[in-house]
Structure formats: structure tokens, C-alpha cells
Amino acid sequence: MSGTPAPKPVIDPELAAALAALPKGPNGKLLDLTDIPALQQQQRAMAEMMAAQAPPPDPRVTISAIQVRRADGSELGLRLYRPAGATAALPALAYFHPGGQVLGEGMANDAYAGGLCRSLDCVLVAVDYRVAPRTPAPGAAEDGLLAYTHLTGHASELGIDGRRVGLAGVSGGGAPAAAVALMVRDQGIQPPCLLSLNYAMLDDRNETPSSHEILDIGIWDRQENELAWKAVLGDRVGAPDLGPYCAPGRATDLHGLPPAFIAVGQWDVFRDEDVDFARRLIAAGVPVDLHVYGTAYHSFDLMAPATRLAREFTETWHAFLRRELHS
């Protein structure tokens, strides 16, 4: 893009200090996506090491795992977190992890998910959707739909209120979460009670101002986004006929989607596509809680959870989730 120079990011001092303290690679960034399979292998090894050193499970949370068979005979893993001692049917939140649609498969975070389930008084369901490049889009969305229909179709045996199942996607997980909401609507399935998108990866085209402005913050900048979408879509990146189940930002009809929560930092590569998605949801008559954090970068609440801004965001997000899950 030409014309006015990109504005200089104004980052919250606490967030800036947290970012500076994070270990960076030789490229000066948190991640190097030039060899995604190698990075996946490194992250799996790190996850195994961290799991071996993890503290004992929280006794206030009951964890179970189930496998749901896909049409091809393979299995989708779902990890369920339930407040210990809960006997009544609870609302459920299908959670789609971050990782740019290329990382995070098979890496459950029991402490985070357990804390979320306790805060929301719900069954938190971590969806271990397949990632690229091994599984291109819309594979992750298809996994999400399978998870959602399993939860609603087997609600009684799972101790879930089948009328109160929500969808939550974080960063790369926002794509399958939003795609599932579209698929459920298009197929006339019982709708989810909410759609939550935190700094969501929605549009493969990378044409927005923010996608050109965010180049070197070091968490998830334009280069990382381009490399991830290339893994997810291959030569379909930017194709005019790409469907919204592969990139939900392409959807032209957002009518009939559930109440939505959308949050993003002003200094996030996804800022403009998320705000645009929220704007179009509003135009379609969908209730939307939209939050733009003026001094935040991508994944600020996960990178710096103890900071004031992250705590404020978490309180706001959880309040929305509790309201929609339990109303």
C-alpha cells in the first residue's frame, strides 16, 4: 500500500515489557513459519516436556476425553472439562485453540481450560481439530461441525444442556469457529447460543490496512499470516471463488448467526478484518459485543495474562460468555 506511512504502534507499557521479555528466535520473532512441519515437531516436543513437568490436575475440575469417528474412519479428539461435583446438565462451550490453523493440534492446556470451565460454570470442550498443511481447509471446520453435532446430539449422556452450546475461537481457532456457525445455519441445525471470536483469523486476502501495518511486532505479523494461509489453502489463497467455510471473512450473508463477541487489539494484523466482520454482523441484525483494545497487540491476554489490560479483557469476555451460556 502507498500513501500515508503506517502509524507507529502505541503499546501499553505492561504489555510492551512482557513482549520484550519473551524469548525470540533468530528472526527476532516468537515463531518461524518458514518450515511449518519442523515447527510443529518442535512444539509437540515442548508440549510433551511441559506435560511431564505439569502440576497435579486441579481437583476442582473433572477431565475426560472422547473420540468421535469421522466419515473416513479416523477420529476427532474432544477433551471435556467439567466442574467437579456438578450433577445437573450444564451449558457447554466448544473451544477452538489458537495457532494460526497450523499449530496446537494435540496440545491440551488443562490448567487454562480447567480455569475457564470453572469461571463459566460450564462444560468446556477443547476441540482437537486438524491443522494445516497436513489437513487443508475446510478440514478444521468440518471437525468443528462434527464436534458441535456430537455435543448437541449426545447432550444427555455428556451431562450437557443441548440448547446451550456455544462456539469460541481464539486467533487461528476463530476460522473454524466462525465457519461452524455458518455451516450450522446453512444446514438448518439447532443454532449455537453464542459465537466468540478473540483476535480471529478470518480472511486469507490480507488486503486490509492493518494487514499491511503490522509487520514487525514479533508475535503474528503479516509474514506469519501469509505463510499460515499458504499452508491452509495452498494455491487457493486470494482466489475469487473461495468459500466462507475455508475463510469466514469471505461470507457475504451473515444473517441468522448467534450473538457474537469480537475482541481485537488495535495493533493486531487481524484488527480490520475482525472489525469488518463485526460491522457486517451488526448490519445483518446479529447482536454484537465489539471490543478494540487501543494499546494491545495480538494474543495480549495469553502473552501477558497478569497485566491490567489482560485482566480487564478477561473479565469482559467471561461476563459475555456467562451471560449467553446461562441466559
Could you state, in order of their start, the residue ranges of all structural domains in the chain? 13-326
Three state DSSP letters for 275-295: HHHHHHHHHCCCCEEEEEEEE
Cα distances from 308 to residues 28, 202, 305, 313, 315, in angstroms, run 26, 27, 8, 9, 11
Q: Which residues in the chain land under pLDDT 50?
A: none
pLDDT at 3: 64
Question: How far from 208 is each of 213, 214, 249, 269, CA to CA, in Å?
Answer: 9, 11, 12, 9
| Averaged pLDDT score across all residues of the chain | 96
Comparing CA positions, the residue from 267, 275, 265 lying closest to residue 213 is 267
pLDDT for the residue numbered 4: 75
> Torsions phi, psi of 314, nearest 5?
-60, -40
Cβ within 8 Å of residue 207, ≥6 positions away:
none
Are the C-beta atoms of residues 290 and 199 closer than 8 Å to each other? no
**Assigned CATH topology for domain 13-326:** Rossmann fold (3.40.50)
pTM comes to 0.97
pLDDT digits (tens, 9 = 90+) for 42-97: 999 988 888 888 889 899 999 999 999 999 999 999 999 999 999 999 999 999 99
